[in-house]
Structure 1
Amino acid sequence: MSKLTCFKAYDIRGRLGDELNENIVYRIGRAFGQFLAPKTIVVGGDVRLSSKSLKSAVTNGLLDSGVNVIDLGETGTEEIYFATSFLQADGGIEVTASHNPIDYNGLKLVRQNSRPISADSGLFEIQRLAENNDFPVVTQRGQYKQFSVLANYVEHLLSYIDVKNLKPMKLVINSGNGAAGHVIDAIEAQFQAHDVPVEFVKIYNNPDGSFPNGIPNPLLHENRQDTINAVLENKADMGIAFDGDFDRCFLFDENGEFVEGYYIVGLLAQAFLAKAKGEKIIYDPRLIWNTIELVEKNNGQAVMCKSGHSFIKEKMREINAVYGGEMSAHHYFRDFFYCDSGMIPWLLVLELLCTTGKTLGELVGESIANYPSPGEINSKLIDAKAAIQRVKDAYEKNAINIDDIDGVSIEYSDWRFNLRCSNTEPVVRLNLETRGNKALMEEKTTEILALLRK
């Protein structure tokens, strides 16, 4: 029995060849079928060159387990979330490596009602079955069909806004040659059909798994420049860039400035609370002050939850939160089966630009000034635990609050920080914010990184 190293805390991800190949993925399909005993599963895949053959392998694994498969074709992850619930399937599988390097791929799994399957809800049991590779004989092979839910999915996306609110706007949209292009085209067609005066300037819109313009990961500074240039050249009102499977979108203001996901959480919280007072909003422990202030100011209830999609989705269901946001640009919506979407956020922000008459820079400017943050800073460390402990020892004695909900968060009256090990990469992540003091932000960031990397 060979150990499969591609199973992570939230999904399956690995280097092509040794960690992930058609044989392994076929076994995962069989294991998924045995674990869930589903009747019907929806499958889709991103644009990576390996996704088609891996999707075919996982499909065959499911079919050989007696499971019916609905193949959605080339999709982003959230199309699988949507189709699983919309078609009332028993689960879904997206073949994607999102923003990982080109020689990687992976699988994201959900069960009925688009609920995530992760480490604490069956993923390691699926791993065990796949490793054992000892599957029962199934007499009746499942049935296979291809089907598209694109029109229904786009109709659902547009239900979050009132298109009558939309005014003349110009948007730069960078799909990064990933999976987002076909959805952007479909939304654009709907806008045109309803005479919505929003113009799309599309860059890298065609899917291309060789990623000629770099892996679609707008968190990398070098991947932002093309979006920035296009915003400035076209005098656009906003720039939008997606990662590979478009479950995250990243926004740029009218001056081409990248807007950290943290400030978008506060913005979307306000948008929901403007429509329904008293709702619960979930936020993660990495950066918090701006979100708490805006939620409370708008008569909402701010609820902290450990970061990570499975934790947030579970918490949202538990307390029936209308919206949840992570500063990493994952945004979750009650009406989207408590799942994350990269398409809903920019539509909501577009509507806000039109209804408030403000630019994106104006909408987030005050928050950025009130709670400056350098953004998430990653450090590759040999002994991450010891490094985090070293920082904790240095800062905990005068702190007014310390919590370990997610890594370690240490708070003073005028600044705070969070340090945590990544669940998906071998790095320690630092997030830090101050109360309106940029110089203090820079000083403390430098200080902590020096201690951390000593």
Structure 2
Amino acid sequence: MDPRLAAVVKAYDVRGRSPEQLDAALARAMGAAFADETGISDGRGRAVVGHDMRTSSPEIAGAVADGIRFRGASVVAIGLASTDLLYCASGVLDLPGVMVTASHNPAGDNGLKMCRAGARPIGLDTGLGTMAEAASPLLDATVEPAEGTSVETIDFLTTYVDTLLGLAPVKGRRLTVVVDAGNGMAGHTVPAVFDRLDVDLVPLYLELDGTFPNHEANPLDHTTLVDLQAAVREHGADIGLAFDGDADRCFVIDETGAVVSPSAITALIATRHLAHEPGATILHNVITSRAVPEIVTEHGGVAVRTPVGHSLIKAEMARTGAVFGGEHSGHFYFREFYLADSGMLAALHVMGALAETDTTVSALMAEFSRYAASGEINSRVDDAAAVIQRLEADYAEHDLDRLDGLTVTADDWWFNVRPSNTEPLLRLNVEGADEPTMARVRDEVLARIRA
């Protein structure tokens, strides 16, 4: 693989600084390889291409389209899109797709998220590595659209809104909702969706701006939620919603301004699905709260634990027939949405559950929030494997598993350590029966990691 591609090809997508690492030439080469990998290089095939609001995205999307057409396929261009809008188009049209976005990364980055027809994910081990190898000799070649190919431009936003509201209608009392789009793609989708809802919308940073002038569009970093929390309190809002840059993740703020755990959101949405499909399978990854499988079981469902990562979860959903899956990072996956993740669909489920009651978000979520969690804590280490091996020996008297990193489980606490895919970091998550228990285990494990 050419070093220029090796630098930007990650576990689940292509991502790097643009144009220093990801430029038009690399995008064209990957577009051509994508056409080959997805089997549309036959003169009759088509692929859908969308892009976010980053300053480099239109050029990158055009280059991807040129690469696809170089292989004899045509392009359906949906223009500005959130990642879940691209997934929706891929699913409804049954076409492979490319989304140009770097998600929550800084403004100078860009990337490519790719899927097969029906929004089936492509990761490093399921085609992305092969594409990178095939693209390598094209980096310095002339890659131009073939005669007879075309670009058809369509507006898919209405179909996207219709699809989501058909899956999760919001009915009941009128809500006041503050939405922080972080100048990301939720600024494109929120107005279209909320125009169809009986809500009072308080908008924050809905203007599309790939320079992120107000804050990074990364709600996993809770420092980016300060303005949203203040606005919820100031307006006496029922709920606050924060989306990341490509709007495939959503975080929820309660009426007091507190962040609602994505694990609690997973449990809530799981119960809504189980009410309609008793006995259904629900997926949760290794770092979601212990409350999630407990609540799924209590509501008659089957809880299946998975590694972290969207392509792994989507594959497991397909294998098990799971109706829903949730990650503690704010990704939520829906069988009826082509097994894909959608921050907006998760938000609609939460608003729907709230509107059906006369209670608050904090009261609604109380039954789903049972334990104290540390959140994810990163430590820079030289040899993650050696640290994990040492922890495995230190905690050998407890239940251990290696489904994803190392998970150590006791009666009233558990912790998981996982190496980063892209950085020399070890990620720690701890949960305890109460705050003192969690803090004790967290501090003890961190001391061992950083020794």
Aligned AA (1:148): D
Task: Output the CA distance in 1 between the equivalents of 2:152 and 2:357.
Answer: 46
Q: Residue type matched to 1:22 in 2?
A: A
What residue in structure 2 maps to residue 23 of structure 1? 25
Aligned to 2:389: 389
Query: How does 1:222-301 map onto structure 2 within 5 Å?
Result: 222-301=223-302
User: Which amino acid letter does the alignment assign opposite residue 124 of structure 2?
Assistant: A
2:65 aligned partner: 59
Corresponding letter in the other structure for 1:310: S
Q: Aligned partners of 2:254 and 2:233: how far apart in 1?
A: 10
Per the alignment, do residues 189 and 288 of structure 1 end up closer, same or farther by CA in structure 2, a change over 3 Å counting?
A: closer
Tell me which residue corresponds to 2:168.
161
Q: Distance in 1 between matches of 2:289 and 2:366?
A: 17
Unpaired runs of at least 5, structure 1:
none
The share of aligned pairs that are identical, in percent, is: 39
User: 1:288 deviation in Å?
Assistant: 4.1
SS of equivalent to 1:190 = coil
The answer (yes or no) to whether the contact 2:267–2:292 under 8 Å persists in 1 is: yes
Q: Name the structure 2 match of 1:185.
A: 191
Instruction: Check whether the contact 1:45–1:96 (CA below 8 A) recurs between aligned residues.
Output: yes
Cα offset, 1:112, TM superposition: 1.2
Q: Equivalent residue for 2:375?
A: 375
Q: CA deviation at 1:422?
A: 2.2
Report the more deviating stretch, 113-122 or 377-386.
377-386
Counterparts of 1:236 and 1:356, CA distance in 2: 15
Deviation, 1:151, is 0.5
Cα distance, 1:126 vs structure 2 = 0.3
Cα distance, 1:424 vs structure 2:
4.5
Deviation readout 1:409-448 (Å, 9 max, x if unpaired): 010111111110123444221111112x210101111111
2 CA distance for matches of 1:376 and 1:18? 31
Cα deviation for residue 336 of structure 1 reads: 0.1
State the secondary structure of the residue aligned to 1:365.
helix
Give the equivalent residue in structure 1 for 2:104: 99
**Does the 8 A contact of 1:30 with 1:62 survive in 2?**
yes
Shift of 1:135: 8.9
Partner of 1:416 in structure 2?
414
Quick one: which amino acid aligns to residue 410 of structure 1?
V
- Where do residues 392-411 of structure 1 align in structure 2 (5 Å cutoff)? 392-396=392-396, 398-399=397-398, 401-411=399-409
Aligned residue number for residue 318 of structure 1: 319
The residue that corresponds to 2:136 in the other structure is 131
Question: RMSD of aligned C-alpha atoms?
Answer: 1.7
Checking the alignment, whether the CA contact within 8 Å between 1:10 and 1:117 is kept in structure 2 is: yes
In 1: Cα distance, 2:277 partner to 2:36 partner: 43
2:67–2:144: 8 Å Cα contact kept in structure 1? no
Cα offsets for 1:375-426 (capped at 9, x unmatched): 1112222222222222222222x20x21100001010111111110123444
Q: Call closer, same or farther: CA 1:139–1:355 in 2, change over 3 Å.
A: closer
Provide the rounded CA distance (Å) in 2 between the counterparts of 1:77 and 1:148: 15
The one-letter code sitting in structure 2 at the alignment partner of 1:146 is T
Equivalent residue letter for 1:6: V
TM-score, scaled relative to structure 2: 0.95
Task: Give the superposition deviation at 1:108.
Answer: 0.2
What's the offset of the Cα at 1:230? Answer: 0.5
Structure 1 residues 236-274: Cα deviation after superposition (integer angstroms, max 9, x where no partner): 111100000000000001100011212211111111112
Equivalent of 1:430 in 407, 422, 428: 428
For 1:9, the equivalent position in structure 2 comes to: 11
Task: Assess if the C-alpha contact under 8 Å between 1:371 and 1:434 holds in 2.
Answer: yes
Question: C-alpha separation between the residues in 2 aligned to 1:372 and 1:362?
Answer: 17
* 2:89 paired residue number: 83
Contact 2:180 2:241 in 1 (8 A): yes
> Contact between 1:281 and 1:301, CA under 8 Å: does it hold in 2?
yes
More moved, 131-140 vs 290-299: 131-140
Whether the 8 Å CA contact 1:287–1:432 is kept in 2: the answer is no
| Aligned length in residues | 443
- 351-360 vs 24-33, which moves further: 351-360
Contact 2:70 2:143 in 1 (8 A): no
Alpha carbons of 1:265 and 1:424: their partners in 2 closer, same or farther (altered >3 Å)?
farther
Partner residue, 1:119: 124
Partner in structure 1 of residue 159 of structure 2: 152
Quick one: distance in 2 between partners of 1:60 and 1:161? 37
Matches within 5 A, 1:323-362: 323-362=324-363
C-alpha separation between the residues in 2 aligned to 1:23 and 1:312?
Answer: 32
1-side partners of 2:156 and 2:144: how far apart?
33
- Where structure 2 has 5 or more consecutive residues not aligned to the other structure, the ranges are none
Partners of 1:228 and 1:110 in 2: how far apart?
35
Assess, with a 3 A threshold, how the Cα gap between structure 1 residues 153 and 85 changes in structure 2: closer, same or farther: same
- Cα distance in 2 for partners of 1:245, 1:410 equals 34
**Shift in Å at residue 18 of structure 1?**
3.5
3-state SS of 2:268 partner: helix
Matched, 1:33 2:39: no
Q: Give the superposition deviation at 1:373.
A: 0.4
**Contact conserved, 1:161 with 1:348, CA < 8 A, in 2?**
yes
Task: Answer whether contact 2:281 2:323 (CA < 8 A) is retained.
Answer: yes
CA shift for structure 1 position 139? 5.4
Partner residue, 1:309: 310
- Which consecutive aligned stretches of 4+ in structure 1 deviate over 3 angstroms post-superposition? 134-141
Structure-1 separation of matches of 2:63 and 2:69: 10
| Mean Cα deviation higher: 10-19 or 227-236 | 10-19
Per-residue deviation, 1:138: 8.2
Which residue pairs with 2:56 in the alignment?
A: 50
- d(CA) in 1 for partners of 2:186, 2:445: 38
Question: Which residue number in structure 2 is paired with residue 73 of structure 1?
Answer: 79
Distance 1:29 1:364 in 2: 44
Cα pair 1:287 1:431 within 8 Å, conserved: no
Alpha-carbon spacing, 1:136–1:23, altered in 2? closer, same or farther (3 Å): closer
> Residue 109 of structure 1 aligns with which residue?
114
Q: Secondary structure at the match of 1:358?
A: coil
1:442 corresponds to which residue? 439
Question: Contact 1:178–1:207 (CA<8 Å) still a contact in 2?
Answer: yes
